[in-house]
Amino acid sequence: GTERKQTLWNTDRGKAVLNFDDVLYITSSETDSRDKLVYFSDGNKTTIKNVGFEQILSVLPSAKFCRVNKKDIIALKTVKHFTSDEISTTINLKSDPNIRLSLSDVYREDFKQKIQLF
């Protein structure tokens, strides 16, 4: 079937349509782990409420996104280089230029396979 390009999620400001192409990175909220922060390519971010990573991964196009540790999912297009335990990204946030994410054992093989096919 055709790949979904977007999905509707509950955010802290009501329901929002999120375009997958605009998503760079999704991480657990520091204030409430049930919430997730989604960072977009235009520099904006939004909080999605009460959603688990499994649920998020079930709607994201799996060839373009990968969970890399227990609190982060990244868009593969943001990967600059990686070692066996760290990923350096092109994600540039005002608060944090050049985000580096840990690559944990659990997700390493999946990540390596996806990045080769990407």
DSSP-assigned letters across all residues of 98-111: S-EEE--HHHHHHH
Expressed in angstroms, the distance from the first to the final Cα of the chain is: 20
CA angle 86, 91, 94 (to 5 degrees): 120
- pLDDT per position as a tens digit, 9-40: 999 999 999 999 999 999 999 999 899 999 99
Look up the pTM and report it.
0.92
Residue 1's pLDDT is 57
Query: Residue 39 pairs with which residues in a beta bridge?
Result: 25, 45
Instruction: Say if residues 68 and 107 touch (Cβ distance below 8 Å).
Output: yes
SS3 call for 28? strand
